[in-house]
Amino acid sequence: MNEDALIARIVERLRGVDTSRLALGIGDDAAAWQPSRSNRSVITTDALVEGVHFTRDVMSARDAGWRALASNLSDVAAMGARPVLATVALGFPPGTDPAWVLEAYDGIAALAARARCAIAGGDITRAPSIVFSISVVGEVRPSNLKTRAGARPGDVVAVTGPLGASAAGLAVAADRPDLAARPEYRSALAAYRTPEPRLREGRWLAASRSVRAMMDVSDGLSTDLGRLCTASGAGAVVERVPVHEAARAVAAAVNASAEAWALGGGEDFELLVAIEKRAFPHLAVRFRARFGRELLPVGRITAELGVRRTDGAPVAPSGWDHMDSPSANPSRSGLARSAGP
Site for a second copy in 285-324 (CB under 8 A): 321-324
Among positions 79, 229, 258, 295, the unique one binding a second copy when judged by CB under 8 A: 79
Q: Is residue 51 a contact residue for a second copy (CB under 8 A)?
A: yes
- The answer to whether 23 contacts a second copy (rule: CB under 8 A) is yes
CA distances in angstroms from 275 to 44, 75, 250, listed in the order given: 24, 19, 32
For a second copy, which residue of 2, 20, 183, 312 counts as binding (CB under 8 A)?
A: 2
> Does residue 145 bind a second copy (CB under 8 A)?
yes
98: left (phi over 0), alpha (psi -120 to 50) or beta: alpha
**Does position 94 bind a second copy by CB under 8 A?**
yes
Q: Are 186 and 233 within 8 A, CB to CB? A: no
**Of 83 and 242, which CB lies nearer to a second copy in the complex structure?**
83
Residue 68's contacts (CB-CB under 8 Å, 6 or more residues apart) are 46, 47, 48, 88, 104, 108, 132, 134
Query: Residues 166-205: x/- map of binding to a second copy (CB under 8 A)?
Result: ----------------------------------------
Q: Does 53 bind a second copy (CB under 8 A)?
A: yes
CB atoms within 10 A of CB 223: 23
Parallel, antiparallel, or unpaired for β 306-309 and 296-302?
unpaired
How far is the C-alpha of 46 from the C-alpha of 193, rounded, in Å? 16
Q: How many CA atoms lie within 13 A of 3 on its CB side?
A: 10
* Interface stretch with a second copy, choices 47-55, 160-168, 182-190, 290-298 (CB under 8 A): 47-55
Using the rule CB under 8 A, give the single segment among 88-96, 109-117, 285-293, 304-312 that binds a second copy. 88-96
Q: How many Cα atoms within 13 Å fall on the side-chain side of residue 262?
A: 21
245 binds a second copy (CB under 8 A): no
Q: How far is the CB of 290 from a second copy (least distance, A)?
A: 22
* Binding piece for a second copy, criterion CB under 8 A, among 121-129, 171-179, 235-243, 284-292: 121-129
C-alpha to C-alpha distance for 187 and 104, rounded to whole angstroms: 21
**Binding segment for a second copy among 58-66, 74-82, 154-162, 181-189 (CB under 8 A)?**
74-82
In angstroms, the CA 104 to CA 110 distance is: 10
The distance of closest approach from Cβ of residue 178 to a second copy in the complex, given in angstroms and rounded to an integer, is 29
Q: Per rule CB under 8 A, is residue 225 in the interface with a second copy?
A: no
Cα separation of 160 and 201, whole Å? 8
Separation of alpha carbons 184 and 13, rounded Å: 32
268 counts as binding a second copy under rule CB under 8 A: no
Residue 330 binds a second copy (CB under 8 A)? no
Nearer to a second copy, 113 or 127 (CB): 127
Q: Which of residues 44 and 194 has its CB atom nearest to a second copy in the complex?
A: 44
CB 183 within 8 A of CB 120: no
Element of type H or E holding 296? strand 296-302
